[in-house]
Structure 1
Amino acid sequence: MKSALNDGASRCFATLDAFLLASARLAPGIVLLDADNLQDDVPGAIAALRTRGSVQAVLLSKAAPDFAFGVAAIRAGAVDILEKPLSEQRLLAAIRLATSRPRPRTPTTIARNIDRLTAREREVVAWLLYGLTNKEIGRELEISHRTVEIHRARLMRKLAVPSLPALIDVVLAQRDKLPDVGIARPSHAPGA
């Protein structure tokens, strides 16, 4: 990765505390944070980073991130989650995403898109927010995991979201339009 990223502007810090101490003297930029070294306090780390004016966006890297981790990280403010080992192409794509200025979506557009989802697609999204896998959602809805995959692909296309983080952003903004599947937490949901 040295060829594409060794531009003299990149800096590496051994710990989050070391970065926080130096951040006042740094130019604004993107932080790539190793989530495996945070002792499960990703939201706290992101909150600490967000208070710094030098942080434009936070990217996370993690070995084998699961959906529940992704939801928690996006809710905390991460722009993207990169699975280790990092590839140069994937890292550069995440940096471009973090630095791009996406076309603003109006609440009306988001609402219209969510209104286009079928009842089953809304159920799938609601269970996704609990961090369930396709197989677990299939068990909850008594359908195959392949059918869940189809519903998931369709709803992402209808909502015009390119990635899981983008899906979570759109869905959290309109959560009141989803069925309340959380009344009784599923037996296979994380933390149950």
Structure 2
Amino acid sequence: MASGVVPDDQALLEALADGDLGALSQLYDRHAPWLSVRLTRRCNDREVVADVLQDTFVAVWQGAGRYQGRGEVGAWMWGIAIRRLVSRLRTRRDVVLMGNPVSMGSSAAGAPSLAVEDELLQGVEYGDLGHAMASLSPEMRAVIQATVLDGLTTREAARLLGIPQGTVKTRSHRAKAHLRASLLEGRRS
């Protein structure tokens, strides 16, 4: 890589595919902080997040030559990270998923809830959609976050949330209808 020039992500992946480990270091410095934050919002175990982050960058290093240049590199990396997290959490039962404390049984109140900070971040991050999402039940919100915001398949979301695929589909359908109605009502107000 030419000195003094800040390469874009695509150029770094190409350099990494050619064996330039300095490119991996630059990608790590650029993307690890935000990937870690997003993973932490979905899992309360810092060790799991650290392992998933490491696995993600190993996969980036090994798969750099297979990246086809479609979409943003960051989105491609997030896809790798969230799928690694899903794989890692398949057998775990004591994690925080999608910002909701979950023991995969039930909480004291019978349903998980968002922390105040997460609700505020969600409202800022998604605007009107954040407010509409806040009106969803925690179960429907988790399904929408997994399938729509994180881009997981129904099968992956079912594994992550510990529920059947049919339940993911039903909750997703109901949540989208609720969101649609809530957003339309908000526009009329």
TM-score, structure 1 as length reference: 0.30
Higher share of residues assigned helix? 2
More strand by share: 1
Normalising to structure 2: TM-score of the pair?
0.31
